[in-house]
Amino acid sequence: MTLNQIIDRIQLIVTGHRQVRNFYFGQITDFLNDKKTLFPSCFLYDNGGQILTKGHEVSMNFRIYFLDLVSVASDSKNNELEVQSDMLSVAKDIIALINAGSYSDWSVSQSNNYNLIRENESDLVAGVVVDVTIRTTWDTNYCEAPIY
């Protein structure tokens, strides 16, 4: 699978969730400063990876942010915790869908660390960020490489 195919599949899975209104791939600052973002939202960030020649595998690391607006009208600390709790539930749903057995062309890390987060750029948003590694097989057939 190519990077584009993986991003497209994750976007398809995320936007199929009824609680997510927006998907974005790119830089976190661009995402947070985009005035057209609909919330709750998912942001996918490429966090590097590995090409394993011995194992014929490519590992791609991603950080997936699940964020929603926090109401600051009253009891904003409690509202922030409520948003983080909701976004953690959405994150668990998405990880379960990404890890579904129906996808035989990739494997997903079995241990996915998460952190509760809060950002106060143009709006107060909160949620969760999850680290996920996706592994795909890689055919190391250099005879097919377009060289010479």
pLDDT for 8-21, tens place per residue? 999 999 999 999 99
CA 147, distance to chain mean position in Å, is 35
Determine what percent of the chain is predicted with pLDDT higher than 70. 91
The pLDDT tens digits for 45-70 are 999 999 988 888 999 999 999 999 99
Among positive and negative, which fits the CA dihedral 95, 99, 102, 106? positive
How big is the CA angle at 4 (ends 112 and 41), to the nearest 5 degrees? Answer: 55
Question: Mean pLDDT, the chain, as a whole number?
Answer: 88
List Cα–Cα distances, 3 to 45, 58, 93, 112, in angstroms.
12, 10, 22, 20
Q: Tell me which amino acid residue 25 is.
A: F
Q: How many distinct helices (H) and strands (E) make up the chain?
A: 3, 6
Task: Locate 31 and state its tokens.
Answer: 């995402």
| pTM greater than the 0.85 cutoff | yes
- In order of their start, the domains of the chain are 3-144 (3.30.2000)
pLDDT value, residue 141:
63
